[in-house]
Structures are given as C-alpha cells and as structure tokens.
Amino acid sequence: MDSIVEPIKLDIGGTVFETCKLKLTKFDGFFKTMLTSDIPVSIDESGCIFVDRSPKNFSLILKYLKEGDDVELPKFERELQEVRREAEFYLLDGLVDLCDSFLKIRSYETSEELLHIIANCKKTAILVISYTVHNDHLWNSPESFNFQYVLENPKLDVYFKQCECEDESDKSRREDGVNKGHQSWIYRLYSPIKGFKTFTNFDKLEKYINGRL
C-alpha cells in the first residue's frame, strides 16, 4: 500500500468499496491514521480491509473524502443524524461540523413526520417556518425576520417547510422585483402546553414567544 493511487478494497459491514490511499488519507481521521501509521493493517483473503460498520452511508463518506465541504448532504434531519454518527466514527471532524451546520436548518417531509416531531418535542414549542420559493430563490422574505433569534432561541425547536409561490406565471403582479400577490412567510407554533398558533407577522410572533411562551 505504498502507492497513493494503488486501489484499496474496504469491506464495510459486508459490502465492498474500492478506493485509493490518496482519497482515504486526504483528511485526518480513521483511515489516515490506519494507513500512515506503523499499526499493522489486517487484510483478509479477498484483499479487503474489514471495518465492522454499517455500509449504509459509506458512499457519502467516500464522497466527502473526495469533495470535502462541497459534498451534498441529505435534506432531512434523520438522515443527517445518521451521517453525523458515521462521521464521528471515522473521526472526520470537518464532516461532523458540516452536518451540525445543516442540522440547524431542519425540515420534514410529511404530516406524519411533523406529528412525530411534535410528540417528541423536548423544548417549549416547535416552530415551523413556511417560506416561499420562486425559481429556486427565496421570495417575499420578511425584512424583520431574525434568523439568529429563532435558531438560537432555547425555547424552540425550529423546522423549515418550503412552499412554492402561487400564480408564478402572472407577471403582472411583479413590480420592481416584488411580487405583491404571493403569500408571505407563515409561522406555525406548536406547543404541547400552549396549543397551536399561526402567525403571518414575525414581530407578533417574537412578541408572543418573549411574553407568553
């Protein structure tokens, strides 16, 4: 294994992956320590290095070793948490930090998943922010919206839900870059104690959280 481009086969929990030393030693971590230290590496009869770990997210681990912070991570929290656990196991601090940054912007896919989130809420309330998108750009973003306030508020678990703008083809509603006909962002507050409330004004939401939640 002296050549950095020599193929290396890894048996991850019964699934074989083929890569090279150059990729595996790009970042400090499990594989760099294994392949650059004096610790003997055990290779089985098929020429594989065995790692007793689930292979489920290992393709993404290899993509990170190749692409670094440009790697595409899963969209939803459950999958992100799984990737983060694998990153911790392989001692890839950069990927752990990347997952943590994405976990601040959490989302859900179905109403059933939202009910599960509410039922397992460990904070005072769940805040779901329904934001509007048009042509892959944020639309009607409220001027008063305070990202830091909602993400760092100890009372809240925050989730984001994307909504497409309505009547996208009606250009007559657009004037100077502002679509007056499209819906504003909506803030839905789910509290096991206080009940459910909906706000369309961020200042009123903030006042309610500070004074009554």
Mean pLDDT by 10 residues, the chain (213 residues): 78 96 95 90 91 96 95 88 97 96 84 88 92 78 87 92 63 45 78 90 94 89
Looking at residue 165, what is its pLDDT?
Answer: 61
* Cβ–Cβ < 8 Å for 50, 89: no
Domain hosting 93: range is: 7-103
| Tokens read off for 65 | 């070793």
| Of 77, 103, 129, the domain-final residue | 103
Looking at residue 177, what is its pLDDT?
Answer: 45
Q: What angle do CA 119, 124, 130 make, to 5 degrees?
A: 75
> Has residue 47 been placed in a domain?
yes
Looking at residue 2, what is its pLDDT?
Answer: 56
Number of folded domains in the chain?
2
Task: Kindly tell me the sign of the dihedral angle through the C-alpha atoms of 42, 46, 49, 50.
Answer: negative
DSSP 43: B
